Structure 1
Amino acid sequence: MKAIRRFTVRPLLPEPLRPLSDLSRNLRWSWHAETRDLFQSVDPERWALCDGDPVRLLGSVRPARLAELAEDRRFLRRLAAAADDLHDYRTGDRWYQEQPASAGLPAAIAYFSPEFGVTAALPQYSGGLGILAGDHLKAASDLGVPLIGVGLLYRHGYFRQTLSREGWQQEHYPVLDPNELPVTLLREDDGAPARVSLALPGGKRLHARVWLAQVGRVPLLMLDSDVEENDLGERGVTDRLYGGGSEHRLLQEMLLGIGGVRAVRTYCRLTGHARPEVFHTNEGHAGFLGLERIAELADEGLDFDAALEAVRAGTVFTTHTPVPAGIDRFDRALVARHFGPDAELPRMDVDRILRLGMETYPGGEPNLFNMAVMGLRLAQRANGVSLLHGHVSREMFSGLWPGFDPDEVPITSVTNGVHAPTWVAPEVLRLGARQIGAERAEDALSVGGSERWDAVADIPDQDIWELRRDLREQLVVEVRERLRASWRQRGAGTAELGWIDGVLDPDVLTIGFARRVPSYKRLTLMLRDRDRLKDLLLHPERPIQIVVAGKAHPADDGGKRLVQELVRFTDDPRVRHRIVFLPDYGMAMAQKLYPGCDIWLNNPLRPLEACGTSGMKAALNGCLNLSVLDGWWDEWFQPDFGWAIPTADGAGTDPDHRDDVEAAALYDLLEQRITPRFYERGQAGLPDRWIEMVRRTLGLLGPKVLAGRMVREYVERLYTPAAHAHRTMAPDTARELARWKQQVRASWHAVRVDHVETSVATTTAELGTALALRVRVGLGDLTPDDVEVQAVSGRVDEEDRITDASTVPLKPTGGPDLEGRWVYEGPLSLDRTGPFGYTVRILPSHRLLASGAELGLVEVPSEEAAEGAGVLLR
């Protein structure tokens, strides 16, 4: 019989145990071992049944046990210590508060993301983007950065994955009751739930409540449309992550961006939290936040162009995709229907909104609205998530800055990091604490600092090897439990599953491969030569074993076929004790998988991995990486840390041939270099060379891959400059900049380079020679204050393209003449040998521009103007 209404009945905690409620509602417990240990001691058996979720634990523990604990003086002392520690953590000064006032750090930053992977107890993530966002919040909390997270609360999360008997992925969407999650409702002063709403076409409204998840010091606001005021369709807007059709996704992204800004304003009003000076858009999904902020400024008297400049100054946009297909794009007519007089932001010109998302570059689709393009146009600062991804992003979006080489496109990079206290196994942390002390070990994981990590060099080989074997053994136990549960879901009876007790061996080299399953990640590359893989798995002296996990998107049948292909291979009785596929990959599984593996495998199509942080998490546990040189591995790979899989990514390479070549390279590495090193033993009976690689991975790579390092880079390189720009952009300043840009755009057609002269007439010159450049330019209605004339020089390739350009500004020395031309002069030093070239160009220039490329305007010499200029020197 089905209940007609559902309630959540919570126990009344005895007064001495009331701090347990606060501890359970602050998600710091998800990365703070002492707090988790405290909750486990409440009821160890029930703690395991609740999957380590304190809220579920307190909702199910017996009243008699609570009464017993209320009288337990030792437990109450531990509880008081944990509560005091959380209070100190939340209120004490940390890295951010210790920075000098002269640094001008932002008062607050709002961080928007469509998903957040903070803990398995709050399943609001699908993969790397969400886990990265969760790690960003946790690292910001550890550093004391005044961040406010903004997302959606999905009633079904992403999906739970099981397998059919035939190995086909099946999706399940369990309902999540917010009252049973570690979140609380944001309430008005009178106790009523705080609400935000959006106008919809046809006079309807989309209402949402705001739930608050406290992530250490950082509040995470999550909007939920499943409220009684909404019609059935609107209630389902936040039903599931990345579900539904185009209009459904558009409404989710409008609620996240526009509703999210309104939720932040409400939260700051109710709590007194500082209003954000900087807004960070984590991928394009939240891009509409810029429109809401423009509308706010319009209400204060700014026109659209001035408001746009003010909004851009304080906005940071991070792109995570290396391929155009990964970007959300909507039909322009659909977007137009949801804005304007009859819908949301009624006082804003719909054509201006649509222009923000137009793909105005060669190959662009004129009838589509591109969320990443809008994100870039609404942000003065943008970044990719690894050094290589920054390069890929500049290439991919270079059409938005015509006339500029990709290297000059204003998209930088901040390489992702991972939150070590979340991902490092307790056993690894205890070994570090034994070496340098618990407090210093905790600081090394959260704050970083290579001097703390140097202590890894002093840990005895025996201790490292015993730790690695212990973690491997724990993984074997975990895999067998999960595999048995999976086979039961597939319909197998207990009598069929005796073989699972022999799956994996704690003394065999263990390889992990776990991630989402789009085609470019090549889940099945390892199956390219199945006989060769079987030989590796079953080698009599140097066997390997592989643990694989991953989810395909529910609409991706191609990805599901890859999963099924791998599952069918792992079902083979000849190899199933050496290779397994575990369904329902998520945070809880990952926290066991990373520490227990010796090798972390990653074989995407280069350069389609934006960053690939799973290998970072593995490395922090002493697991070595075996990866294609893509994402972060391209940036930090050294032979000390693991192995690089050679790639066959030439422009004309056939995809099948490429996969054959790269799979063969993978097998070669395993056969010839990796397994011999793992199994060879030194005089003490230990794999000395392997242990040294583990030591170097921990000591040298560890400090680099921390989310604390990543967040400090965001603060120093992006958030603080954005805050300074925001403060500079007062209303009159914003109007001035907007007027200046309009004038420059309107006058740029008349800007030209008329003539270039140089003091060297030959095509050869000696190193160290200084050329005198003289350039005549026409500026039309502009003046030298509006532009910068530059000499651009450097080595040239076979096609006379400048490949390592450096720029020198030239100075006006005369003009305007009767024809309105100006003369610019300056020296050009020949500081490199070999083929050398130069050109000149004119760029817009203003004190408030973050980059000379910002307007996408540049003028270079025509062929006629360049004649006789000595353009190439050899």
Structure 2
Amino acid sequence: MKAIRRFTVRPVLPEPLRPLSDLARNLRWSWHTETRDLFQSVDPERWAASEGDPVRLLGSVPPARLAELAGDRRFLRRLTAVADDLNDYVTGDRWYQSRPQAAELPAAVAYFSPEFGITAALPQYSGGLGILAGDHLKSASDLGVPLIGVGLLYRHGYFRQTLSRDGWQQEHYPVLDPNELPVVPLKEADGTPAHVSLALPGGRVLRARIWLAQVGRVPLLMLDSDVEDNDFGERGVTDRLYGGGSEHRLLQEMLLGIGGVRAVRTYCRLTGHAEPEVFHTNEGHAGFLGLERIAELCAQGLEFDSALEAVRAGTVFTTHTPVPAGIDRFDRELVAHHFGPDAELPGIGVEHILRLGMETYPGGEPNLFNMAVMGLRLAQRANGVSLLHGNVSREMFAGLWPGFDADEVPITSVTNGVHAPTWVAPEVVRLGARQLGDRRTEEALTVGGTERWDAVADVGDQEIWDLRRNLREQLVLEVRERLRASWRQRGAGTAELGWIDQALDPDVLTIGFARRVPSYKRLTLMLRDRDRLMDLLLHSERPVQVVVAGKAHPADDGGKRLVQELVRFADDPRVRHRIVFLPDYGMAMAQKLLPGCDIWLNNPLRPLEACGTSGMKSALNGGLNLSVLDGWWDEWFQPDFGWAIPTADGAATDPDRRDDIEAAALYDLLEQRVTPRFYERGRSGLPDRWIEMVRQTLTLLGPKVLAGRMVREYVERLYTPAAHAHRSMTPDAAAGLAAWKVRARAAWHGVSVDHVEAAVSTATAELGTTLALRVRVRLGDLTPDDVEVQAVSGRVDSEDRITDATTVPLKPTGGPDLEGHWTYEGPLSLDRTGPYGYTVRILPAHRLLASGAELGLVTAPSQGAVEGAGVLMR
């Protein structure tokens, strides 16, 4: 019989065991080995059955076992030690609190993301964006950064993946009961659940409950619309991650952004937590948070433009997509329908809202509202997630800053990192602890620092090789177990599965490939020449084996066909012991898969991988990367610790031919360089050169790929300047800046460079020469205080474009004359040899601007205004 109602019965822990509840509700257990070991000792079989989830474990342990533990003095001593350690962790000073001038750091930062990958026990992620967000929160906790995470609680999460008998992906959406997850409801002072609400067209209301997940020191607020006060449609707003049509997605993003700010205010009111000075928008999905903050300020009496400046000052926007198709865009009429007098944010004119997101630049779609464009317009500071992705982002969004070269677009880069305590295998940590001690190992994994990682040089070759073999063997056992479960789900009987006991070999070079399955990641590139792949898999002396996993989006039939193609190849009896596809890739699988692979393969279409962090996780376990030079690998690749797959980037290359060329390059690397290095033995009987590459990977890449390094960069380069800007942007300052921008834009047509002259008489000059520049400009209704006149110089290409520009401000020396001219002068040092050139330009200048490009206004001289402008140095 089916129950007519479902509810959760919580266990009553004996008083001595009450700290177990606190330990289970703080997600630090997901990366703290001692806490996990403690829970495992409660009941090893039930711990395995609960898939390592303490909340589920405690709900299943019989009262008799709990009573037994309550009288076990040895267990209680362990429990006290772990509970005390957690208390020290969440209350003691860490990196952030020990910073010089700590009072100047942000009092708090609110971090918004549509998904968070904290642990498999809280399945609220689909892929890299969510895992990155989870690692950001964990590392912020380790460093003591006062972060508040904000997201949504999806009742079905993303989806669970299985395969049909013929290898077609099938999706399943199990219902997640928040009462069975490691979250607690945020409650008002009177004990009632805390809620936020949004006004919808037609007088409807969208209400959402606030759930709290504690991630170490960091609270994560998650909004859930499945509450009884909502109508059926509104209850389903937070049903699935990245599900539904345009209006459904719009409502999710309004709830995340607008409702998220309201949830933060509620949390701070109820707990006394410091109000955030900085708001960090992780991708455009949460961009509406800026509108809510503008509405708050307008309600306090600021005009819209002034409120916009105040909000921008304290906002950081991170873009993760390298292609326009990856950005959420909505029909402008749909957006207009959900705002205004009869819907949400009635105090803000709909035209103001639309203007923030419209693609009002060459090549833009005039009727589409672009969430990334809004995110950039609402943030004074923005970044991509690797150096290469920063370049791609500046090119992609250059239309927002007309008149500036792409390399001057104010989008910087903070390369992603990964949370080492989550992704490094316990065996690797123990090896580090033997070398460094527990405390220094923890510091190496969380804070970083090359001096700690240099200790890997002292680890013996045999120890490294034994470690790698052990991790590979564990992977083989894990794969066989998952492979057997997958084949049973596909309908296979026991008699068909005997071959699985010989699937994979702990002494064979193992390649891993696991990620989402959009077409640009090229899951099936390895299949371009199947005979050649078979030769690699079945080589008599140097075989390889491949473990593949990944999910295609439910609406992406093309991605599902790629999965099916790979599965059908892996089903071939000739090779199924050497290549496997594991369905339902997620955090739990990744934590087993990544450490056990010798090679991590990544072959996207360059430059479409914004960062790609799975290879970082492999590297922290001593895995070597074999990858296209894209994302982070383009930035940090060295032949000492990996291989770069050559690419055919020419614009004229046919896509199929490009895949053929790059697949052939991949096969060549595996045949000629990778497999020989793994199987060749030195005098010691060990693969000396391979072991040295593992050592170099850990020593040189280890401190770079840490999320601790990433979060420190955010604090120092983005959060702290944003906090300073926020504090400077008083209501009067914001009103003054807004008025100045209106005046500067209105007067800019009257700004010109009328004459440029330099003291040079020939087309060549010697290195070290200093030219005296004299420039005559018109400023119209502006003054020298409103502008900066710059000399821009550097090497030039064949089209006289300056390729490595240096800018020097020029100083006013006189004016205005009777014709309205101002004179500026300054030196220009010729500090590089070769073809060299300069120009002059005028930019708006104000003390509260973060960048001279912020307004997108620039004036340069016409060619006729220049004397002696082209200088060729030899």
TM range (shorter): over 0.9
Could you list the structure 1 runs, at least 4 aligned residues long, displaced by more than 3 angstroms after superposition.
none
Aligned partners of 2:869 and 2:402: how far apart in 1? 26
The aligned residue for residue 477 of structure 1 is 477
Name the counterpart of 2:634.
Answer: 634
Deviation track 1:806-862 (CA, whole Å, cap 9, x = no partner) reads 111111111112221211111111121111111110000011111000000000112
Measure the CA separation in 1 of the matches of 2:470 and 2:336: 59
Residue number in structure 1 paired with 2:762: 762
Q: Is the 8 A contact 1:761 1:870 kept in 2?
A: no
Match of 1:792 in 2: 792
Paired residue secondary structure (1:591): helix
For 1:259, the equivalent position in structure 2 comes to: 259
8 Å CA contact 2:112–2:280 kept in 1: the answer is yes
Match of 2:292, SS? helix
Residue 700 (structure 2) aligns with: 700
Q: CA RMSD in A?
A: 0.8
Amino acid at match of 2:367: N
**Which residue is equivalent to 2:189?**
189
Q: Deviations over 1:288-320 (max 9, x none)?
A: 000000000111111000000000000000000
AA partner of residue 570 (structure 1): A
Quote the residue 2:246 is aligned against.
246
Distance in 2, matches of 1:318 and 1:572, equals: 44
Please identify, of 272-281 and 443-452, the stretch whose mean Cα deviation from structure 2 is larger.
Answer: 443-452
Once the two structures are TM-superposed, the CA of residue 437 in structure 1 deviates from its matched residue by 1.1
Matched, 1:498 2:477: no
Paired residue type of 1:34: E
Q: Which residue number corresponds to residue 413 of structure 1?
A: 413
State the partner residue of 2:821: 821
Aligned position for 1:717: 717
Q: Which residue of 2 aligns with 1:77?
A: 77
Q: For residue 825 of structure 1, what is the amino acid of its counterpart? A: E
1:780 Cα offset (Å):
0.8
1:738-753 matches, within 5 Å, as 738-753=738-753
- 2:45 paired with 1:45: yes
3-state DSSP class of the match of 2:727? helix
Secondary structure at the aligned position of 1:207 is classed as strand
Task: Kindly state the Cα deviation for residue 871 of structure 1 after the two structures are TM-superposed.
Answer: 2.8
Shift of 1:766: 1.7
Assess if the C-alpha contact under 8 Å between 2:600 and 2:618 holds in 1: yes
1:452-487 Cα shifts (integer Å, max 9, x gaps):
111111111111111111110000000001011111
1:439 and 1:798 map into 2 onto residues whose CA distance is 56
Q: Does structure 1 conserve the Cα–Cα contact (< 8 Å) formed by 2:24 and 2:55? A: yes
- Structure 1 range deviating more: 572-581 or 826-835: 826-835
Q: Is the 8 A contact 2:96 2:102 kept in 1?
A: no
Kindly state the Cα deviation for residue 184 of structure 1 after the two structures are TM-superposed: 0.1
Map 1:187-586; keep pairs closer than 5 Å: 187-586=187-586
1:238–1:748 Cα change, 3 Å: same
Residue identity matched to 1:455: A
The equivalences for 1:681-696 within 5 A come to 681-696=681-696
| Stretch of structure 1 that moved more, 368-377 or 773-782 | 773-782
Following superposition of structure 1 onto structure 2, how do residues 155-170 of structure 1 map, counting pairs within 5 Å?
155-170=155-170
Contact 2:754 2:777 in 1 (8 A): yes
Instruction: Find the counterpart in structure 2 of residue 871 from structure 1.
Output: 870
Other-structure match for 2:771: 771
Contact 1:762 1:870 in 2 (8 A): no
Report the 3-state secondary structure (helix = DSSP H, G, I; strand = E; otherwise coil) of the residue aligned with 2:399: helix
> How many Å separate the matches in 1 of 2:97 and 2:756?
53
Superposed CA offset, 1:2-37 (max 9, x none): 211111011111111000000000000000000000
State the alpha-carbon separation in 1 of the partners of residues 22 and 47 from structure 2: 18
CA contact (8 A) 1:113 1:281 kept: yes
Which of 639-648 and 501-510 deviates more?
A: 639-648
- For structure 2, the 5+ residue unaligned runs are none
Secondary structure of the 1:808 match is strand
Letter in 1 for 2:520: Y
Change (3 A) 1:340 1:775: same
| More displaced 10-residue stretch of structure 1: 762-771 or 178-187 | 762-771
Name 2:733's counterpart in structure 1: 733
Asked whether the equivalents of residues 30 and 422 of structure 1 are also in contact (C-alpha less than 8 Å), the reply is yes
Aligned length: 873
The aligned counterpart of 2:619 is 619
> After superposition, what is the alpha-carbon deviation per residue over 1:676-702, rounded to whole angstroms, capped at 9, x for unaligned?
110011112111111111111111110
Q: Which amino acid aligns with 2:122?
A: L
**Is the contact between residue 197 and residue 205 of structure 2 (CA under 8 Å) also seen in structure 1?**
yes
Amino acid paired to 2:286: A
In 2, Cα distance between equivalents of 1:691 and 1:641: 10
SS of the residue corresponding to residue 376 of structure 2 reads helix
Alignment-mate amino acid for residue 218 of structure 2: V
Shift of residue 771 of structure 1?
1.4
Please report how far the alpha carbon of residue 443 of structure 1 lies from its aligned counterpart in structure 2 after TM superposition: 1.5
Output the CA distance in 2 between the equivalents of 1:43 and 1:751.
76
Q: What residue is the counterpart of 1:644 in the other structure? A: 644
2 CA distance for matches of 1:723 and 1:356?
A: 23
Tell me how far 1:103 sits from its aligned partner. 6.3
**Secondary structure of the structure 2 residue equivalent to 1:97:** coil
What are the Cα deviations for residues 43-94 of structure 1, in whole angstroms up to 9, with x where unaligned? 0000000000000000011111001101100001001111100000000000
- Contact 1:510–1:599 (Cα < 8 Å) also in 2: yes
- How far apart, CA to CA, are the structure 1 residues paired with 2:144 and 2:810? 45
Structure 1 Cα separation of the partners of residues 33 and 242 of structure 2: 33
Equivalent residues in 2 for 1:589-600, closer than 5 Å:
589-600=589-600
The answer to whether the 8 Å contact 1:763/1:870 transfers is no
Q: Single out whichever of 699-708 and 179-188 deviates more from structure 2.
A: 699-708
Equivalent position SS for 2:600: strand
Find the aligned partners of 2:455 and 2:810 in 1 and give their Cα distance.
Answer: 52
Letter in 1 for 2:719: Y
How far did residue 663 of structure 1 move?
0.5
Structure-2 residue corresponding to 1:808? 808
* Structure 2 counterpart SS, 1:559: helix
**How far does residue 102 in structure 1 lie from its aligned partner after superposition?**
5.8
Give the match's secondary structure for 2:703: helix
TM-fit CA distance, 1:529: 0.5
Task: Note the C-alpha offset of 1:865.
Answer: 1.8
Letter in 2 for 1:483: L
Secondary structure of 1:705's aligned partner: coil
Which whole-Å CA distance do the structure 2 matches of 1:669 and 1:399 have between them? 40
Structure 1 distance, partners of 2:869, 2:547, is: 62
Instruction: Name 1:173's counterpart in structure 2.
Output: 173
Task: Give structure 1 stretches of 5+ with no counterpart.
Answer: none
State the TM-score, normalizing by the size of structure 1.
Answer: 0.99
Deviates more, 1:704-713 or 1:648-657: 648-657
Identity of aligned residues (%): 87
**Distance change (3 Å), C-alpha of 1:642 and 1:359:** same
The answer to whether the Cα contact below 8 Å between 2:839 and 2:869 also exists between their aligned partners in 1 is no
SS in 1 for 2:743: helix
> Are 1:147 and 2:147 an aligned pair?
yes
SS at match of 1:96: coil
How much has 1:776 moved relative to structure 2? 1.2
Distance 2:797 2:100 in 1: 47
| Structure 1 residues 381-419: Cα deviation after superposition (integer angstroms, max 9, x where no partner) | 000000111111111101100110111000000000000
| Contact kept? 1:116, 1:130, Cα under 8 Å | yes
Q: Mean alpha-carbon deviation: is it higher for 390-399 or for 439-448?
A: 439-448
TM-score by length of 2: 0.99
**Distance across 2 between alignment mates of 1:453 and 1:426:** 17
Deviations 1:656-714 (A, max 9, x none): 11111111110011000110110011112111111111111111110110000000000
Report SS of the residue matched to 2:555. coil
Conservation of the 8 A alpha-carbon contact between 2:511 and 2:546: yes
Q: Per-residue deviation at 1:864?
A: 2.4
